[in-house]
Amino acid sequence: MNATPDTTSSAAGTTPEKLPIVLIHGLWMTPASWDTWAERFRAAGHEVIVPGWPGIDDRSVQDIRTNPAPLRGIGLKEITDHYERIIRALPVKPIIMGHSFGGVITQMLADRGLGAAYVGVAPGQTAGISTLPASTFRTGLPILSNPFNRNGVKPISKGHFHFTFGNDLSRAESDALWEQLAVPSYNRVLFEGVASTMNEKNGVTHVDYARADRAPLLVITGGIDNVVPPAIGKAIVAKYAATDSPAVVEYKEYAGRTHRLVSQPGWEEIADQALTWATSHAAVTA
């Protein structure tokens, strides 16, 4: 494995306030879901890197819908390895932020020591966190109900998109957002994520919750999120806090926010607070 990049603020003349930022999208999404935060962070002077998952890469939403075959059979380890290669090519450790399953990948990258600070935006559970609210179960049901298609892909219906991403919108508004953003799922990702919640030691999403040298992690949830309700975010933080690790793990909940924290009206407040938290805590790391 290659040597870990230098994290000091003097590396390449980078200060914590201007560290690069890597944004990781979630299931059913593409890098375009981060356009809001990415442009805001660039305006603040950061280099922002928003890679697509393998198979999505820089393809358009319509292209992915037309040819979803490259998404078949890809799992969480392959996706996390993909991001590790990108991050290790950077001259300094970046701030890493991930949304939904991107938040799971963010925690897996944190376990590999690849970031200066981490933000999980409505992050999914890593291995051993079995909290499962009814709305979360409903989120995965269209995929999990067919185990024979474990390595396949499945489009998200407009109705299910309304439940998962657009529950603050009218159906017509949600459908318009579906047209703009939604792509088929990587079924294996969801199966692996669910299986790992009951297998802390050997699950694909295993992390060392007691790791002492992990850079600071912030977990953000939305009060009316059907996919990752606050109960999951609190369970994640509690899992880390139950260890003797001195590593910083904090929690922030936003009332009235859905799973679409990165684009729901008022997203600017969340983006600014996430960035301020990350840069101030990355300064401690540096």
Cα distances from 98 to residues 34, 73, 91, 149, in angstroms, run 10, 22, 20, 26
Residue 9 lies in a domain: no
Three-state SS at 285: helix
Q: 207 with 107: CB under 8 angstroms?
A: yes
Q: What is the mean pLDDT of the chain?
A: 94
- Look at residue 140 and tell me if it is in a domain: yes
Number of compact structural domains in the chain: 1
Report if residue 275 sits inside a domain. Answer: yes
Convert the pLDDT of each residue in 89-146 to its tens digit. 999 999 999 999 999 999 999 999 999 999 999 999 999 999 999 999 999 999 999 9
Between CA 211 and CA 55 the distance in angstroms is: 32
Examine the pLDDT at 1 and tell me if it is beyond 80: no
pLDDT for position 17: 76
pLDDT digits (tens, 9 = 90+) for 140-178: 999 999 999 999 999 999 999 999 999 999 999 999 999
pLDDT score of 205: 98
Is residue 27 a part of any domain in this protein?
Answer: yes
**Where in the sequence is the domain holding 52, given as residue range(s)?**
14-280
Amino acid 285: pLDDT? 62
Cβ-contact 252, 219 below 8 angstroms: yes
> Considering the domain boundaries, does residue 7 fall inside one?
no
Question: Domain holding 165: CATH number?
Answer: 3.40.50.1820
* Position 71 in a domain: yes
**Domain-embedded: residue 6:** no
Residue 5 covered by a domain: no
